[in-house]
Amino acid sequence: MAKTPTGKSTLPKTDARPPAVRKKEGRSESAKEVSCPVESTLEAIGGRWKVLIIYHLLEATHRFGELTRLLQGVSARTLTRQLRELEESGIIDRHVHQVIPPKVEYSLTDLGRALEPVLQAMHAWGEQVDSRRK
């Protein structure tokens, strides 16, 4: 991230306060309306499992059962909800094959693939944190 000579971030200033705070100050906006790009990103990929789902779909297309095995500890209900939310956000595609038994596969859309550098940065940051803990 670029910084000024004084060490401050050069990120543009936005109103990143929670919607409830902005509403109290006379700005009526719904929970879905956001004024900060970081907030928009978190709205789309926030959640216990979403980033990990995206991470695994960057590697390959997966079926529900495969994702369940890859994401040890996720319940079927939670995984279903997180997949639906990612699909509604346009980050993943759900492809139903017309076979018996039904076969459903999940893959990333172009919008989802655009998150790859974000996940790479998260990976690099995580490695730094892990190395400091040792």
DSSP codes, the chain: --B-TTS-B-SPP---S-HHHHHHTT----TT--S-HHHHHHHHH-STTHHHHHHHHHH--EEHHHHHHHSTT--HHHHHHHHHHHHHTTSEEEEEE--SS-EEEEEE-HHHHTTHHHHHHHHHHHHHHHHHH-
Distance CA 95, CA 29 (A): 34
Using alpha carbons, select from 122, 118, 59, 57 the residue that is nearest to residue 92: 57
Residues 30-75 pLDDT 10s? 455 667 999 999 999 999 999 999 999 999 999 999 999 999 999 9
pLDDT confidence of residue 35:
77
Distance CA 126, CA 120 (A): 10
Mean pLDDT, all residues of the chain: 86
State whether the Cα torsion 43-49-53-55 is positive or negative: positive
Question: Poorest-confidence range of 18-22, 48-52, 70-74, 118-122?
Answer: 18-22
End-to-end Cα spacing for the chain: 26
Domains with residue ranges and CATH for the chain:
48-133 (1.10.10.10)
Residue 13 clears pLDDT 90, i.e. is over it: no
- Confidence tier at 97 by pLDDT (50, 70, 90): very high
Q: What is the pTM of this model?
A: 0.75
- The residue among 3 and 38 whose pLDDT is bigger is 38
Distance CA 84, CA 112 (A): 14
